[in-house]
Every structure is written in C-alpha cells, then in structure tokens.
C-alpha cells in the first residue's frame, strides 16, 4: 500500500455530497416519483383527549382508499422502547394531531378537498407534567451520603428552573415513499421505503413489527436528508408505517410528505423541563451536596422519553465534582403531541438549570462565577455523579480557562457592570455515544469493501447535513493509507449495509468511526504490499465487517445507575455578552465565544460548522424560540411565527477547538454534534443576571424579561455567607 | 396550492379588465404574501393577474413631490435617492421590511395591500370574521401580537404594512383604478377600521380595483423620525413602530449642544404601526408635540400621550411600553438625538 497518500484527517477536504447539493443534483424525497404513484394524507385527531365515536367520509369515494388500524397485518404499535403508541389510533385519543386514518388518492388536490368527519367523546386533558397520573420512566442516581453533604455545608442554595418546548426545524420536512413488491431481490409481498431519516434500522424494525413481515422482506433506504436534529430519529418510523400500509393496501407506490404546518403540529419536539436544585456549599465555594429533582414533559406517548431522561439526569449535576449527590428524575405523560429526540437529548435542559444555579451560588457567596467553577470543575481522576472515574481526556478546567482568557472575562465583567449590558458564561460537558450499556446492547456493525482504487464504506449512519460521509471517509482513508477521494460511501440502505445503529447521540464519529477504523486497519494488514487492484485480481472480493467492542475496563450497572455512563465526554465553555434595551426589553447577544474540547477535529471546518450551528440553535432556545401551546395544540405552527435566529440575530462567533484525544476514538475523536447546544442558554441567562435580570426560565422573551425586571430583587448584592436555612 | 390561470396584462386597463371573472381573481405583485396564502389554502383564486408589469418607476411631480408606481420593488424604494432625501422615513421603513429576498421581490402595491398576519387568519382551520365566520378567536386566544388601539372589534388585527405608516405620516395619496375609472384617496382614508360590514377587507379597494400609484406631496420644512421595535432583526414583522413628521417653526436644523433644536414644533404627524387595525394616527401625541421645543423631554411626553388611548387585550399589555418607546425614540431621531 502507498504510504504517500496525504493524511485526510484534520484537513478540510471537500464534502462527499457537496457537489451534488450545490448544483441541485441531490435528490430529496419529494423529488422522487414512481410509476403509478399515489399520495397519502393523514387524518388526525382534533381533540387532546377522549375517544373516537364515529368516522364518516362525506362525498364521492371514487378513487380514494381509506387505511385505518384494521389494515394493520402485524401489531399496531410504533416499535421503539415502550409499546404504547399506536401507528393508527383505534379508539382512544391521547393528543391533538394523533393519526387516525390515511386517505390515499392520485391527486393531491382531491385528497386535500376530501371531507372526513370524526365524532369524539372528549375527556379532560392534562397538560401539567407534575400532575400526571402516568410516569413513563423514573431515574435515581445516588452518590455518597446526602445528609452528610448538607451537614458539611455553610450555605444552602435552592432554585427552580424551567425550559420550554423547542422545534427542531430541519429545512426539509418529514417525508417517505413506500413501494410495494420491489423489496430485496424483488420478493413479492415485501416493501421498500425511501425517506428522509436519521435511523434506517429503527424504521426497518418498526415496519417488520407493524407489517408482520420477515426482516428480509422489508428494505429501508435513506434519501438525501435536509437536516434532522433528532427530529428524524423516531417519527419516520411512524410515517413509514403509514405509507407502507397504504402501499400494501393499494398495491401502488405511496408518497407521504408533510407540509411545514403538519410537521410542526404533529411531530416531536424538545421535552419541556422543570428542574429543582438544592445545593450545599462551603463558604469558600466548595460543593458539598447536590440534590436535584427534575420532571420532563414527555407528551402523550413514551417515544424516547426514557433515554432522554437518562441522558438528562446523568448530566444534571453539571461538570462538577461533589461527593454527595442525589438526582431524581421522571418523565411523565401529558395530552400533548409526544416529545422526543432533539440535539442534546435532555442535557440542554438539565445543564441549563445547573449552570444558572451555579451563577446564583456564586452570587450568594460573593464569589465570581469563574472562581466557583474553577474550584468545582471535574478533573481527571475525579468521579461523576454515576461514579465514573474520569480519564486524562477530561478538560473542564482547560476549556474554562481558555474561554476566560480569550474573552478577558473578569475585566469585561467589571467594565460592563451597571450598564445595559451583561456578560455570562456556562461550563458544560456532553457524553459521546449511547448511555451506559447502550452500545454493548446495540452491538453496532460496520463494513468496508475493497474497491479497485480504495474502499467503500457500508454503514447505516446517515448523512443529514453534518458531514457523516466525509468524516468517515477521512478516517478510513488514513487508516487504510489511500487517498480520501478513493474512499466512497454506500447509501444507507438496509438491503446493503449492516446495522451500525442510529445516527444520534454524537456517536457516529466516535463509535462507528472507530469500528471503521478497525476495519481499515485489518484491511491494510490483509493487503500487505499489494495495491487494492492487485489484491482483487489475486484473491477476489474483500469485505471486512467489525462490531463495536467495549473499551477494556468500562462498566455500567443499569439497575443502580452506576458506572461509566459514556466512553468519553466532550467539554465546552461559552461566554456571551448581551445587550438589554431597558425600555423595550429586547435582548440581543452581541458577542459569543465558545471553547470546545472534542478529542480530535477530523474535519475542522465541519466541526466548527456543528459548533456554530448548534450554538445559534442554543441562542434561539434561550431567547427567541417559543412554542405556544393552546389547548394541547401548537398555536404558532408556521415559519412566520415560530421564529428562529437568522444570521442577523446571531452575534459574531469565536469558536476555539481544543483537542485532548480519547484513546478509543478514531484518531482520538469524541462526539461534537450535540454539545454546542448545551451552553448558550445558561450563558445568556447568566449574562442577563449580570445585567440585573433574574430569569429562571427560557425562552427569555421581552414579555418575560419585562416581568422579571419588575420584581428585580436585592439578590444582586451578595449577602454575607453564613450557615443558613433562609433559601435564596 | 390549487391550480389557477395566470394573466399577464400589459397595461393598467387590461389588468383591471382581467379581474372581471365569474370565479375569484386576485392581483399578484411580488407574490410574497399572496403565494404563501395560496400555499396555506387561505386563498385559492381561479385567476391570478400579474401587476409587476405596471409602472415600476419613481418620478418627480410638478409640485416637488414624487409619484411611486405600485410595481416599484421595496428595495428600489429604499435605495431611491429622492426618496431617501425627501422622505427618509419611507426609506427607513422600506429597508427594514422582512428580508433582502422579500424586499427584492415585494412591491409597493403588494406591501400596502398585504393581508393580516393574525395566526388565526393564517390558519385554514379557523374561520373567523375575516374569513366570513362569526367570531374572533384572538379575543380569548393568542393575542400577544394584536392591537392595543382601536380595539372595538370585530377584528383585532394589526395592519401588517410597514410602508403604509410613513405614507400616512407624509400625507400620501393613493391612486386607484377600477372598472369605472380612476380616483385618488388620501392614504389615511384608504385603510378602514373593521366593522361587521367591511371586516373581510382592510381597505376601500373593490374586487376589481387596483392600486396604481402612491403620490407623496412635497414634504416642506419638516423633520422626520422612524423607529421600529422588532423581536428579531430579520425575517419578521415589527412589534410596534412609529413615523413622526414634524413641521417646524423658523429656520430648520439649528441644533443646540445637547441635541435640542433651536426651533419649535409647529405641528406634528405621529403614526404608529403594528398596534391597530389601521396605521394609527395618534392625535394626543401630535397635540403633545405642537408648540414645544424639540428635545428628549418633549419626546417622552409624546410617548406618554400616545399610549393614553391604549386598550390592550388579555395578552399584549407589554406592547404599550413598546409603543411608547417607539414614539419617544422616533421623535428623538427627528431631533437628531441618539436613541440607544
Ligand atoms: C418573513 C416575512 C417577514 C416580513 N416582514 C415584513 C415587514 O417587516 N414589514 C412589512 O411591511 N411586510 C413584511 N412582510 C410582508 C411582505 O413584505 C409583503 O408581503 C410584501 O411586501 C408584499 O409585496 P408583494 O408584492 O410580494 O405582494 P403580493 O403577495 O404580490 O400581494 C400582496 C397582496 O396585495 C394584493 N396586491 C398586490 N399588488 C396590488 C395592487 N397593485 N393593487 C391592489 N392589490 C394588490 C395582492 O392581491 C395580495 O393580496 C414580511 C413577509 C415575510 C414572509
Ligand atoms: S383578529 Fe381578526 S383575523 Fe384574527 S381571529 Fe380575530 S377576526 Fe380573525
């Protein structure tokens, strides 16, 4: 093999699909069509809770096919974790926009005009997650002896923090096409589903269960996908089921593509949270006890709430050392559309609370916010809330110090004091890969096939705009010793690629990338001195498949939530300056610096892109993005009134990458996709606190800031710390 | 959206004639509003009549004003030299509309005649007064962006046009062409407060009328100020905004050290946007300004006076503070005093 190939890792190589996207050649789901294509429309509930009494189709039924739960050959569930969510409602309605039946017709306009009336027997909905009768999941994390921790405290600080819903707002709305009969090897009675998605094998499994088909008769192919942010983790399984049922019933290809309003009304969002902190701290700023109670609003069905809660709780204490911790979390049901995966997956909610609370602790002690964090930041060798002993690749202090130096934080803080501006920071971390034993259970696989020039990657990991194909090809190119251009990537097609798991949890680079790196290392050894072409001529095809291997020494006990929750963590620190208009209460971020330690930036430009995009999304979460729910229904489900930041609303961003390699990641890489969204919201709220506004809830809309200012309190002057039962 | 016929007239007269049909005909300028309404099935016209081919020029009038063709793009209005020097508040309003894409495509005629942004109006499922129904959902629903003035109903929208406000403030006339010929209407009379009889529309245009021109009179010895408060900086409408046009006594432009004008205000036009179903002329604010020295204290008084008439809805009292600030800062801008 040639060792002259220029290293690809660490270079800003051209994106694999960049040319097609820029020239418009890339084909998204709504660009595709098939002979005899029909369209489907989803008829949804208009009440938040109750029962269906009667369904009536009014008018001429010619040319229409109706699909309801009677048409389901297998089990009427959207298979995920729990089995509580029907693919099509039978009788019970648990939220507005719950799918009840599908109408199919070849003409989209006729489909729209069709009049289906549903009679209901409504019942009383519950929208309060704290008063819910149904708990999807509870998690308890205990470390040390909480009472002892509080006994050692000089001061106790308490607070309650709330975060709202957030919509993922990928540019391409959800869509699928189901084609009957053309399944793997043309097997009759099978089904092929194309679609915009993050997790082809989730969809595959859901279809097998819904349709009662053998796995070999179901094939799922990801089409070019215009963004996901978690929003295409679980919902495509539901849609694929709908389209597949319609395709099987009509015997023709069926397209189901949502418009923006339907996508926003019906699909998953970020879980709202209520997080309460009670913290013991010594006079000089050492954390002695952390007691956290959190509730996530799961919406009407369990979807991924259990695992969102899990990640949220593991990150709830923030990147801080403390010997005595108690964390209690639950995800409960309300009569709103189910909440689900969204970049960050529970961690943005709980770290928002932790970081705003940290500034309040600093304020209470009369310490500066950097100092309290320096004292308590997790260092290598420390243990986390789950008792995980951190390795050398733990960088809380480095990112903090780098951010403080780069921004001249303390000096700026003094300079801005008493003006209409404020500066705040947040320190955060984010575990890469599935939580706990997740990766072991999943046992992800990846394959590498030798080609005449190099190799072809076979993984189910999807390119959703974040650069999966590019980054994986870079890793393989270097490990195999070929040029980046000589590595190509197969479509994420379950008929052709092994199950490398879902494209979520910041796991694609660290976990799947590492498996591929091992494949490439073995392939290189097998080739010896031969070129790929020589090898193929001499020995025929070569495909190497490998499975995830747990790094030695990693342990996790799911029953008590103890052990190594993640293989590694990324570390970040954000510094935000805001300007507040004291007449109109507009909040404007004016400067933003973020330091991210991510192990190794395989493609620095893509990594910075993830950080800038995630940070902007985090700023939106903090200030602008307000999902208005009324009677269990999103009232502002359009792009003109659910507003996200544009470049004009985003301050110039200074992104600093640090690299502290993780020994079991490809070239030392950890995950980077989610972490950027953990930091901005608390940093903004802390900056507002510095400017005199005591907010505990996001988004910080002008109305909320105005209300806060009217109760602006004396808490701004730090009191003399004393052992106290007087809660702040 | 529903399929429709497309007509591309070459003259004003042809355009008006093309609006006559048994079905529903609608005029399209830049389409930035109409197309999104069609996609959302708020409107489903059978025929769409393009008026981008009509007058797209800004020309000087004999009395020292300008005449603006309805097909002028918002961006061209914002960057027009005569508009920028004679009517800086028109240019200021134009440059803040929507996004660069919307300003490049949107027209003056379309901007003035765009339909309300009320969430219920824009949602097919809610058949409110404005869509022929018999209730206003905003009253007991989401009304955080609705009117704080002129709230007698039946509709509580805020008029969405940014350009309408400075046009009213500068005393513009609108030229309208219909089947029975042309007429000129004062901008202030063009927009209508809702009644049960007229609630389906926001202005006096009939179904077969088109707006062809905006005619601005010579501004005279005035000072101008325009101030918008926006939730976000692009891709959004203002929460509240104000144009003030001040007719000054004596010599123009002698400013004191602290930004205080040497001259006093003879009379004022104060028009607020995004706060009422029409561009809202505030007589109390105008009275508060007349005869006063132009300075920050006067500006604050005008702000206070403006909101004396406010009657907020259940969820939008916060807009009073914003409207007050917009008036105050527009006057400060007219005085050349730095705002924030
Ligand atoms: C995200 C976003 C932000 C926006 N922000 C703002 C803002 O800040 N301020 C603001 O003012 N607007 C704003 N808009 C609205 C936009 O500016 C207007 O929709 C645009 O100016 C309309 O111009 P147009 O030529 O594209 O109108 P069209 O969509 O072509 O027409 C609008 C309406 O006017 C009618 N019409 C058009 N021309 C004539 C005519 N000559 N005679 C009679 N009727 C006519 C049409 O039938 C239609 O009903 C925003 C829009 C969006 C999507
Ligand atoms: S404010 Fe006007 S447009 Fe909105 S719901 Fe009421 S009547 Fe309809």
Length of chain A: 728
Indicate whether A607 and A618 sit together in one domain: yes
Cβ-Cβ contacts under 8 Å, A648 against chain B: 232-234
Buried b (16+ CB within 10 A) or exposed e, B207-246: ebbbbbbbbbeebeebbbbbbbbbbbebbbbbbbbbbbbb
Same domain flag for A591 and A695: yes
Reported ipTM: 0.84
User: How is chain B split among helix, strand and coil, in percent rounded to 5?
Assistant: 30, 20, 50
B8-27 burial, b at 16+ Cβ within 10 Å, e below that, comes to: ebeebeebbebbeeeeebbb
Domain-ending residue, one of A237, A266, A295: A266
Residues A300 and A419 in one domain: yes
Q: Mutate one of B98, B119, B328 to test the A interface: name it (highest A CB count within 10 A).
A: B119
Domain containing A454 equals 18-28+444-547
Buried b (16+ CB within 10 A) or exposed e, A161-199: bbbbbbbbbbebbbbbbbbbbebbeebeebbbbbbbbbb
Return d(Cα A684, Cα A625) in angstroms, integer.
14
Residues A188, A90 within the same domain? yes
Query: Looking at ligand 2, which residue's alpha carbon is closest to its atom 8?
Result: B128
- What is residue A379's DSSP assignment? -
**Is residue A10 domain-resident?**
no
> CB A648 to CB B234 under 8 A?
yes
Distances (CA, A) of A3 to A385, A534, B204: 45, 16, 78
Dihedral angle, C-alpha B321, B322, B326, B328, nearest 10 °: 20
Q: In this structure, are residues B119 and B142 in contact, taking their beta carbons and an 8 Å threshold?
A: yes
Using CA atoms, how far apart are residues A466 and A468, in angstroms rounded to an integer?
Answer: 6
φ, ψ at A104 (rounded to 5°): -125, 135
Query: Residues B101-141: pLDDT tens digits?
Result: 999 999 999 999 999 999 999 999 899 999 999 999 999 99
Tell me if A279 is assigned to some domain: yes
Q: Is residue A292 part of a domain?
A: yes
Same structural domain, A250 and A322: no
**Chain A residue numbers touching B236 (CB-CB < 8 A):** 640, 643
The first and second tokens of residue A136, run together, are 């999807």
Angle between helices B318-335 and A702-710 (to 10 degrees): 100
Q: Which residues lie below 8 Å from residue A70, measured CB to CB, with a gap of 6+?
A: none
pLDDT averaged per 10 residues in sequence order, chain A, 728 residues: 74 97 97 97 98 95 96 97 96 98 96 95 98 97 98 98 98 97 66 97 98 96 98 98 98 97 97 98 98 98 97 98 98 98 98 98 97 98 98 97 98 96 98 93 97 98 97 98 97 97 95 98 97 97 97 93 96 97 92 98 98 98 95 93 91 97 97 97 98 96 81 37 32
B25, B46 Cβ separation under 8 angstroms: yes
Residue A58 lies in a domain: yes
pLDDT at residue A187, rounded to an integer: 59
What tokens does B46 get? Answer: 């059978």
pLDDT class of B146 with cuts at 50, 70, 90: very high
The answer to the question of residue A426 being in a domain is: yes
A584 close to B (CB below 8 A): yes
- How far is residue B67's CA from residue A96's CA, in Å, rounded to a whole number? 51
| Single residue among A523, A547, A571 that ends a domain in this structure | A547
Residue A435: count other Cβ atoms within 10 Å of its Cβ. Answer: 21
Report residues whose beta carbon is within 6 angstroms of any ligand 2 atom.
Answer: B 116, 118, 120-121, 128-130, 136-138, 146, 155-157
Confidence class for position B255, pLDDT limits 50, 70, 90: very low
A150 and A257 together in one domain? no
pLDDT value at residue B263: 78
Total domain count, chain A: 3
Compute the average pLDDT of residues B258-267. 70
Q: Residue ranges of the domains in chain B? A: 222-335
Atom of ligand 1 nearest to the CA of B32: 26
Per-residue pLDDT at A703: 83
Q: Tokens in use for A200?
A: 């082809």
State residue A728's pLDDT score: 28
Question: Is A553 domain-assigned?
Answer: no
pLDDT at position A678: 98
Question: Which of B43, B127, B138, B151 gets mutated to test ligand 2 (max ligand atoms within 8 A of its CB)?
Answer: B138
- How far apart are the CA of A649 and the nearest CA of chain B, in angstroms? 6
Please state whether the predicted TM-score (pTM) of the whole model is above 0.80. yes
Q: Is B44 on the interface with A (CB under 8 A)?
A: no
* Alpha carbon distances (Å) from B306 to B170, B244, B270, B285, B310: 18, 12, 9, 5, 8
Angle, helices A396-407 vs A409-416, to 10°: value is 50
Neighbours of B184 (CB within 10 A): 10
Q: How far apart are CA B288 and CA B294, in angstroms?
A: 11
Instruction: Give me the pLDDT at residue A407, please.
Output: 98
- Domain B222-335 sits in which CATH superfamily? CO dehydrogenase flavoprotein, C-terminal domain (3.30.390.50)
User: Looking at beta carbons, which residues of chain B come within 8 Å of A584?
Assistant: 229, 239, 321-322, 325
How far are the Cα atoms of A313, A376, A722 from residue A281, in angstroms, in the given order?
Answer: 21, 10, 10
Q: What is the pLDDT of residue B232?
A: 76
A53 to chain B, any CB pair closer than 8 A? The answer is: no
Q: Which residues line ligand 1 (CB under 6 A)?
A: A 640; B 26-34, 51, 70, 74, 97-98, 102, 105-107, 109-111, 113-115, 160-162, 205, 210-211, 235-238
Output the pLDDT for position A4.
Answer: 58
Asked whether A272 and A628 are in contact (CB, 8 A), the reply is: no
State whether A221 and A256 are in the same domain: yes
Paired tokens of B222: 């005035």
3-state secondary structure of A114: coil
Is residue A146 domain-shared with residue A71, that is, in the same domain?
no
Note whether A636 contacts B: Cβ–Cβ < 8 A: yes
pLDDT-based confidence at B1, cuts 50/70/90?
Answer: confident
Predicted local distance difference test score (pLDDT) of residue B234: 78
Other Cβ atoms within 10 Å of A58 Cβ, number: 9
Partner-chain contact B321 A109, CB within 8 Å: no
Residue A302 lies inside a defined structural domain of this protein: yes
d(CA A620, CA A579): 15
- Compute and round to an integer the Cα radius of gyration of chain B: 20
Residue with tokens 């300075």: B295
How far does A109 lie from chain B, in Å, by closest CA? 7
And the tokens for A438? 């997740």
Three-class DSSP category at A556 = strand
Can you give the CATH number for the domain in which A245 is found? Answer: 3.30.365.10
Nearest of B174, B160, B162, B33 to residue B90 by alpha carbon:
B162
Q: Do residues A28 and A174 touch, judged by C-beta distance below 8 A? A: no
Q: Measured between CB atoms, does A583 come within 8 Å of chain B? A: yes
Ligand at shortest distance from the CA of B33:
1
Using CA atoms, how far apart are residues B213 and B172, in angstroms rounded to an integer?
A: 10
Protein residue closest via CA to atom 2 of ligand 2 = B155
- In this prediction, residue B257 has a pLDDT band, given cuts at 50, 70 and 90, of very low
First-residue to last-residue Cα distance in chain A: 66
Residues sharing a CB contact under 8 Å with residue A478, sequence separation 6 or more, in sequence order: A5, A7, A8, A9, A667
pLDDT at position A710: 52
d(CA A453, CA A113): 54
A115 touches chain B (CB under 8 A): no
Chain A nearest CA to B221, separation (Å): 31
d(CA A370, CA A410): 8
Residue A613 lies in a domain: yes
Last residue of one domain, picked from the residues A547, A579, A594: A547
């Amino acid at each position: 093999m040639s060792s002259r190939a220029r290293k690809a890792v660490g270079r800003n190589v051209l994106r694999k699909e960049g040319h097609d996207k820029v020239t418009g050649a890339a084909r998204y789901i709504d660009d595709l069509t098939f002979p005899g294509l029909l369209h489907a429309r989803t008829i949804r509930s208009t009440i938040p809770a109750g029962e269906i009494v009667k369904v009536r189709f009014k008018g001429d039924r010619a040319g229409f096919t109706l699909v309801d739960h009677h048409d389901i050959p297998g089990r009427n569930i959207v298979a995920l974790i729990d089995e509580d969510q029907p693919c099509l409602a039978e009788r019970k309605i648990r939220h507005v926009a719950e799918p009840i039946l599908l109408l199919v017709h070849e003409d989209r306009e006729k489909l729209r005009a069709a009049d289906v009336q549903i009679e209901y027997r409504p019942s009383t909905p519950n929208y309060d997650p704290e008063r819910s009768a149904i708990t999807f999941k509870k998690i308890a994390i205990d470390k040390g002896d909480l009472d002892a921790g509080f006994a050692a405290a000089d001061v106790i600080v308490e607070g309650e923090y709330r975060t709202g819903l957030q919509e993922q707002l990928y540019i391409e709305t959800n869509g699928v096409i189901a084609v009957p009969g053309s399944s793997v090897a043309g097997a009759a009675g099978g089904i092929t589903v194309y679609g915009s998605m993050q997790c082809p094998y989730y969809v595959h499994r859901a279809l097998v269960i819904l349709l009662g088909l053998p796995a070999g008769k179901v094939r799922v192919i990801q089409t070019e996908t215009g963004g996901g942010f978690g929003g295409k983790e679980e919902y495509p399984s539901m849609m694929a089921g709908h389209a597949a049922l319609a395709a099987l019933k009509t015997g023709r290809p069926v397209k189901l593509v949502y418009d923006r309003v339907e996508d926003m009304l019906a699909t998953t969002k970020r879980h709202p949270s209520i997080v309460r902190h009670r913290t013991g701290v010594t006079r000089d700023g050492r954390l002695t006890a952390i007691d956290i109670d959190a509730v996530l609003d799961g919406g009407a069905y369990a979807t991924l709430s259990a695992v969102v809660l899990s990640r949220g709780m593991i990150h709830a204490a923030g990147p801080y050392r403390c010997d005595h911790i108690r964390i209690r979390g639950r995800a409960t049901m309300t009569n709103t559309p189910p909440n689900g995966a969204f970049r960050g997956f529970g961690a943005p909610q709980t770290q928002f609370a932790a970081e705003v609370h940290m500034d309040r602790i600093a304020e209470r002690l009369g310490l500066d916010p950097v100092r309290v964090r320096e004292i308590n930041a997790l260092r290598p060798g420390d243990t986390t809330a789950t008792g995980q002993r951190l390795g050398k690749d733990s960088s809380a202090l480095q990112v903090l110090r780098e951010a403080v130096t780069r921004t001249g934080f303390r000096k700026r803080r003094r300079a801005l004091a008493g003006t209409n501006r404020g500066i705040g920071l947040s320190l955060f971390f984010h575990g890469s890969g599935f939580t706990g034993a997740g990766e072991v259970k999943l046992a992800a696989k990846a394959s590498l096939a030798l080609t005449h020039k190099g190799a072809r990657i076979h993984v189910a990991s999807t390119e959703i705009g974040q650069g999966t194909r590019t980054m994986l090809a870079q890793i393989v190119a270097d490990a195999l010793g070929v040029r980046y251009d000589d590595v190509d990537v197969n479509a994420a097609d379950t008929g052709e690629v092994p199950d490398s798991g879902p494209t979520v949890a910041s796991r694609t680079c660290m976990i799947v990338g590492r498996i591929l790196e091992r494949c490439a290392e073995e392939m290189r050894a097998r080739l010896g001195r031969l070129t790929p072409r020589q090898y193929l001529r001499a020995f025929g095809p070569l495909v190497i498949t490998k499975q995830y291997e747990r790094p030695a020494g990693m342990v996790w006990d799911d029953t008590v939530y103890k052990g190594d929750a993640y293989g590694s963590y990324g570390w970040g620190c954000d510094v935000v300056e805001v300007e507040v208009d004291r007449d109109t209460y507009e909040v404007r971020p004016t400067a933003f610096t973020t330091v991210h330690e991510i192990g190794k930036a395989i493609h620095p430009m893509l990594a910075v892109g993830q950080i800038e995009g995630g940070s902007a999304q985090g700023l939106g979460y903090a200030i602008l993005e307000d999902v208005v729910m009324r009677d269990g229904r999103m009232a502002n489900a359009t792009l003109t009134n659910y507003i996200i930041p544009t470049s004009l609303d985003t301050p110039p961003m200074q992104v600093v990458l640090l690299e502290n390699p993780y020994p079991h990641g490809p070239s030392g890489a950890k995950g980077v996709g989610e972490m950027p969204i953990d930091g901005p919201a608390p940093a903004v709220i802390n900056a507002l606190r510095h400017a005199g506004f005591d907010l505990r809830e996001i988004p910080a809309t002008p109305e909320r800031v105005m209300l806060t200012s009217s109760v602006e309190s004396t808490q701004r002057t730090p009191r003399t710390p004393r052992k106290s039962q007087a809660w702040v | 959206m529903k399929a429709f016929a497309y007509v591309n007239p070459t003259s004003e007269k042809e355009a008006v004639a093309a609006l006559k049909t048994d079905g529903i005909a609608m005029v399209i300028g830049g389409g930035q509003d109409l197309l999104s309404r069609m996609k959302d099935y708020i409107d489903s016209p059978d025929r769409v009549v393009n008026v981008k081919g009509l007058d797209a020029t800004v020309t000087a009038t004999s009395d020292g004003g300008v005449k603006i063709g309805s097909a002028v793009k918002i961006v061209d209005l914002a960057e027009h030299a005569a508009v920028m020097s004679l009517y800086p508040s028109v240019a200021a309003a134009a440059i803040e509309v929507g996004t660069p894409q919307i300003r490049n495509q949107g027209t003056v005629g379309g901007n003035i005649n765009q339909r309300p942004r009320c969430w219920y109006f824009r949602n097919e499922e809610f058949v409110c007064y404005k869509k022929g129904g018999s209730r206003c959902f905003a009253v007991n629903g989401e009304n955080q962006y609705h009117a704080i003035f002129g709230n007698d109903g039946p509709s509580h929208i805020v008029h969405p046009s940014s350009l309408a406000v400075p046009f009213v403030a500068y005393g513009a006339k609108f030229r309208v062409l219909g089947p029975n010929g042309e007429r000129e209407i004062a901008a202030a009379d063009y927009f209508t407060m809702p009644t049960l009889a007229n609630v389906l529309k926001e202005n006096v245009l009939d179904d077969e009328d088109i707006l062809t021109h905006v005619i601005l009179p010579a501004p005279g010895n005035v000072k101008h100020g325009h101030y918008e408060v926006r939730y976000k900086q692009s891709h959004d409408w203002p929460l509240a905004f104000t144009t003030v046009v001040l007719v000054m006594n004596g010599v123009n432009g002698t400013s004191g050290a602290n930004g205080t004008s040497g001259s006093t205000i003879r009379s004022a036009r104060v028009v607020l946007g995004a706060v009422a179903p029409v561009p809202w002329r505030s007589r109390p604010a105008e009275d508060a300004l007349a005869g006063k020295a132009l300075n920050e204290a006067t500006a604050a008084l005008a702000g206070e006076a403006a909101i004396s008439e406010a009657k907020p809805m259940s969820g939008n009292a916060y807009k009073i503070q914003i409207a007050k600030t917009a008036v105050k800062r527009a006057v400060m801008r007219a005085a050349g005093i730095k705002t924030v």
